[in-house]
Amino acid sequence: MGVQTSKTPHTVRLEEASRRAHEAEANGDDAAAIAAWREYRLVRDAGRPAEDLLEEGITLSKMADRLIEPR
């Protein structure tokens, strides 16, 4: 008997979004590829710890502030 693995819903959603994105890219459908990769990133980020997302958001905000500061 083979080893049976069960995928989590999170993993399944990531794989499906990735498959759709690659398929759209292969078909030259840029709009669908962009939407699928956006979905992929949202699903991926939903599985990250809130502290990591908050830290990343703070870092991005600081970078944005530096970009808009008058020189």
Query: What are the phi and psi torsion angles at 21 (to 5°)?
Result: -65, -45
Question: What's the pTM value of the predicted model, to 2 decimals?
Answer: 0.65
Quick: pLDDT tens for 4-46.
Answer: 578 898 899 999 999 999 999 999 999 999 999 999 999 999 8
How much is the pLDDT for 30?
97
pLDDT at site 1:
53
Q: If pLDDT is split at 50, 70 and 90, which confidence band does 69 have? A: confident
Q: Burial code of 13-47, b = ≥16 C-beta within 10 A, e = fewer?
A: bbeebbebbeebeeeeeeeebeebbebbeebeeee
Identify which has the larger pLDDT, 19 or 47. 19
Query: For residue 39, what are the CA distances in angstroms to 4, 12, 28, 43, 47?
Result: 28, 13, 18, 6, 13
- 10 close to 46: Cβ distance less than 8 angstroms: yes
